[in-house]
Amino acid sequence: MVVPGGAARPLPRGPRAASPPRGAGGGGSRQGWCRRPGHVTRGGAMALREPGPGSGGGGAGAEGGQDAEPCLALLPWDRFSAWLHCVCVVGFDLELGQAVEVIYPPHSKLTDKEKTSICYLSFPDSNSGCLGDTQFCFRFRRSPGRKVSLCCFLDQLDRDLPVYLKKDPAYYYGYVYFRQVRDKSLKRGYFQKSLVLISKLPYVHLFRTVLKQIAPEYFEKSEAFLEAVCSDVDRWPPPIPGEILHLPIMGIIMKLRIPTYRDKPGTTQIVQNMHQICIPSGYVKCIKISQSVFRCFCPVFFHIQMLWELVLLGEPLVVMAPSPSESSETVLALVSCISPLKYCSDFRPYFTIHDSEFKEYTTRTQAPPSVILGVTNPFFAKTLQHWPHIIRIGDIKLPGDIPKQVKVKKLKNLKTLDSKPGVYTSYKPYLNKDEEIVKQLQKGVQQKRPTEAQSVILRRYFLELTESFIIPLERYVASLMPLQKCISPWKSPPQLRHFSQDEFMKTLEKAGPQLTSGLKGDWIGLYRHFLKSPNFDGWFRSRQKEMTQKLEALHLEALCNENLVFWSQKHTEVEAVDLVLKLKNKLLQADRERLPVKTDTLKKLQAHIHDIILALPDDLQDILLKTGTT
């Protein structure tokens, strides 16, 4: 139970790690967490501001942090909300079916539609036959109409993340630990229950590790234990990318580093060469963010290049698997294969016939949408037979034998979920097949190379392929930026030039992917198809926004380099006042949109505003000083 002020009252629980020392653990100092005065939101929602200079941004539990500037006290559950929305327990009732039995913290808000989605997605389909413990994840739409703070500290942190770890405010992730065991004392003859973590963060392996640590003990100790777990999470530091975070959870300290967009692509995200912290009754466990992609692609790795094209182009894809674990892992591996490009369409690691979008995604009255679905119910083999690309996988196991090469199969051969594993499609790849990567992975299987090493090879291959594809686009889009000499402080910032498909295609002859990739094929056709896809639309909108913000930042710098006081003295009072108001709006815009402007530039602009106001008559000074800080 949490008492006012955010302190956690000790609860009955198992052995725990002692509170880590300042700067090394999750408790104690509120460093890195500063609530913006007057921005308290309901239900513990966060509206936090960034730590000031000297804080290091590390927060409690982040290595390398320094003392933060004084902050107002956090409300209870603010820290918890940074990582999780809530924790749910879903059980099976003979009369009601699946039902949410517990939501913690109790103040957490879920709509009836969200609760229904969680209920159905937290249990494997009956045909899966998942006896024992099973872990998987799902993704579902948040109900519309929820208020989202634009100035939220967490939204600022999101800017430092690589694209594949950025949260989507329209969706929640559900991380599930499902237990099904025989129990003769129950009418149904089985104990069936799921512990589910609901979060906006796509940190699959972190939350999988958390569940592995807490779920078995929860099923023995029930609700009091869950309350203690949530109190632990409420001691965690903020999820700051690039920092080494120490997260206490029921007897251990998990060590985590969240990657940043500045990290060199392809480098491992496992924390290396870190000294363990001396913690009585506990130990340090290093957590990675990335997953083992080779394990997921092993059943179909002869077709990895074709699958990369299908994901890149945003083609409708269905993954048919025997269990939610296999379906969710494979869907997530597919989405990640085009990194550092963001997959901009919808994807559902585990999708059921009860999903609220079932009719929308299975209708035959229109073309299948751009979405990747992971399914396990045999019913989908018939319902989704009209989809153009279907991947059928068997049980995912650690590869020991060399997988047999499976030819691409025609869709008409897919009749049931019992059909043989393989890729069912009529799609013809634009690029010639890269035999080298297949041979390299086959050789690794023969030599019993560790799965993690195979995954590193496969990730590097996907990364180099995606970068070879995207570099010509980056180069062309950069040329749409106006020259700096075109930026005048006395005019509005210039506009970007329009993207011309024909103009871009002409650049490929001399500056195309052939400069960085040896693959042959119809690159032009692949680009033409990509330019019509949701992934291009999302990527271009993002680059357009970045460049527009850069132009605004350069315009601010141009203003700062002018003698604005001298200009105001040469013009009327009305024009001087108009200039002050426009400059103040510029400052507000820089803060609101987090423009890439140096702190010195902003201070200089504030000084200009102050000097212009002081040069005006006293009555105008009083009015302008009251309209906002200078």
Determine the pLDDT at residue 249: 92
In this prediction, residues 69-98 reach a mean pLDDT of 78
Whether pLDDT at 364 is above 60: yes
- How far apart CA 600 and CA 6 sit, in angstroms, is 37
Determine the pLDDT at residue 470: 96
Whether pLDDT at 27 is above 70: no
Whether pLDDT at 24 is above 50: no
Determine the pLDDT at residue 345: 94
Whether pLDDT at 92 is above 70: yes
pLDDT-derived band at 406, boundaries 50, 70, 90? low
Determine the pLDDT at residue 289: 56
Q: Which residues of 553-570 are buried (b: 16+ CB within 10 A; e: fewer)?
A: bbbbbbbbeeebbebbee
Whether pLDDT at 150 is above 70: no
- Please tell me which of 4-18, 64-78, 284-298, 558-572 the model is most confident about, judged by mean pLDDT: 558-572
Q: Under DSSP, is residue 478 helix (H, G, I), strand (E, B) or coil? A: helix
In this prediction, residues 309-335 reach a mean pLDDT of 94
In this prediction, residues 245-263 reach a mean pLDDT of 89
Type of residue found at 522: D
Q: Phi and psi for 147 in degrees, rounded to 5?
A: -80, 135
Which of the residue ranges 147-161, 406-420, 466-480 would you say has the lowest mean pLDDT? Answer: 406-420
pLDDT-derived band at 415, boundaries 50, 70, 90? low
Determine the pLDDT at residue 284: 52
Q: Which residues of 299-330 are buried (b: 16+ CB within 10 A; e: fewer)?
A: bbbbbbbbbbbbbbbbbbbbbbbbbbbbbbbb
pLDDT tens, residue by residue, 585-607: 888 888 888 888 888 888 888 88
Whether pLDDT at 135 is above 90: yes
Whether pLDDT at 195 is above 90: yes
Type of residue found at 468: S
Task: Give the ranges where 175-250 is alpha helix by DSSP (H).
Answer: 204-221, 223-233
- Please tell me which of 182-196, 256-270, 280-294, 332-346 the model is most confident about, judged by mean pLDDT: 332-346
Which of the residue ranges 92-106, 112-126, 228-242 would you say has the lowest mean pLDDT? Answer: 92-106
Determine the pLDDT at residue 126: 65
pLDDT-derived band at 286, boundaries 50, 70, 90? low
- How far apart CA 76 and CA 577 sit, in angstroms, is 45
- Mean pLDDT across the chain, nearest whole number? 79
Determine the pLDDT at residue 396: 55
Beta-bridged to residue 322, according to DSSP, are none
In this prediction, residues 371-392 reach a mean pLDDT of 90
Determine the pLDDT at residue 3: 31
pLDDT-derived band at 313, boundaries 50, 70, 90? very high
pLDDT tens, residue by residue, 433-483: 999 998 999 898 889 889 889 989 999 999 999 999 999 999 999 999 998
Q: Phi and psi for 452 in degrees, rounded to 5?
A: -65, -40
In this prediction, residues 5-25 reach a mean pLDDT of 37
- Contacts of range 612-621, beta carbons closer than 8 Å, 24 or more positions apart: 612/564, 612/565, 612/568, 612/576, 612/579, 612/580, 612/583, 613/580, 615/565, 615/568, 615/569, 615/576, 616/573, 616/576, 616/577, 617/573, 620/573, 620/577
- How far apart CA 438 and CA 298 sit, in angstroms, is 11
- How far apart CA 358 and CA 24 sit, in angstroms, is 46
Percent of the chain with pLDDT over 90: 40
Cβ 303 vs Cβ 337: under 8 Å:
no
Determine the pLDDT at residue 502: 95
- How far apart CA 497 and CA 544 sit, in angstroms, is 10
Determine the pLDDT at residue 269: 47
pLDDT-derived band at 403, boundaries 50, 70, 90? low
Q: Does 54 or 216 have the greater pLDDT score?
A: 216
pTM of the model: 0.81
pLDDT tens, residue by residue, 517-528: 989 999 999 999
pLDDT-derived band at 579, boundaries 50, 70, 90? confident
Q: Does 408 or 114 have the greater pLDDT score?
A: 114
pLDDT-derived band at 153, boundaries 50, 70, 90? low
Whether pLDDT at 389 is above 80: yes
In this prediction, residues 263-288 reach a mean pLDDT of 47
Determine the pLDDT at residue 18: 39
Size of the chain, expressed as the number of residues it contains? 630
In this prediction, residues 227-246 reach a mean pLDDT of 92
Type of residue found at 252: I
Determine the pLDDT at residue 314: 96
Q: Does 331 or 261 have the greater pLDDT score?
A: 331
Whether pLDDT at 356 is above 60: yes
- How far apart CA 192 and CA 97 sit, in angstroms, is 11
